[in-house]
Chain A
Amino acid sequence: NAGVTQTPKFQVLKTGQSMTLQCAQDMNHNSMYWYRQDPGMGLRLIYYSASEGTTDKGEVPNGYNVSRLNKREFSLRLESAAPSQTSVYFCASSTRQGSLYNEQFFGPGTRLTVL
């Protein structure tokens, strides 16, 4: 049981390049999330998927797209990378318990630098 996995762990891009961050979970969770973490700003939600087949914007969606490929996988795409997207990206998943979602489980993160 690997939990939440993310690839790659590190990536350096040039401005204007594109890339896709991959995330997978093996806990049969319904909901998945993408966050970015910047120094002094905590976690900010980029996109989330409440269930397979649905995606919704979070606090900072501009410059990103997502795909919920199936129940296990949720990818984040940068179509034209900008230096402002230099950050650490975390994927998370959660399930639902009663009327409230249970806690989120996080992946190890992808450290992205855009030059």
Chain B
Amino acid sequence: GDSVTQMEGPVTLSEEAFLTINCTYTATGYPSLFWYVQYPGEGLQLLLKATKADDKGSNKGFEATYRKETTSFHLEKGSVQVSDSAVYFCALSAWDNYGQNFVFGPGTRLSVLP
């Protein structure tokens, strides 16, 4: 079945450091890919998405490129801020034999220190 693998956390960085959170997927169909962010005590919010190969999703300084050849969708940000501290989820949406399927990764907790 479809699955999403992302790097285990927690990830701790200093303010203004470069961030990469790795995400790879397996899917029988041709999925759309998403990054969601969850701040403490809140629900998940869509951060960015990409719906076809080589698409780059971007939002709030975060970027991720849909790489079909490596089945990856790594999240990057050039300079993190304390306010970026949250849990980040990689996810896919694809069709399988039973219909449409949403799959989430386990989440990566990011802590940014001042």
A→B interface (CB under 8 Å): 4, 31, 33, 40-43, 45, 50, 90, 92, 94, 99-101, 103-109
Contacts and interface: CB of A to CB of B under 8 A. Distances in A.
Given A42-B104, A43-B104, A50-B100, A103 B34 contact: yes
A106 B100 contact: no
Contacts of B93: 100-101, 103
A99 B104 CA distance: 20
A37 B75 CA distance: 22
26 contacts: A4-B43, A33-B102, A41-B106, A42-B89, A42-B104, A42-B106, A43-B89, A50-B100, A100-B32, A100-B51, A100-B94, A100-B95, A101-B32, A101-B93, A101-B102, A103-B34, A103-B46, A103-B49, A104-B46, A104-B102, A105-B46, A106-B36, A106-B44, A107-B43, A108-B42, A109-B43
Size range of the chain B interface in the assembly: 20 to 34
A99 B93 CA distance: 11
A92 B102 CA distance: 11
A86 B16 CA distance: 38
Contact of A106 (B31, B43, B94): B43
Given A101-B102, A103-B34, 14 more contacts: A4-B43, A31-B100, A42-B89, A42-B105, A42-B106, A90-B44, A100-B31, A100-B94, A101-B93, A103-B93, A104-B44, A105-B46, A106-B44, A109-B42
A103 B49 CA distance: 8
B45 interface: yes
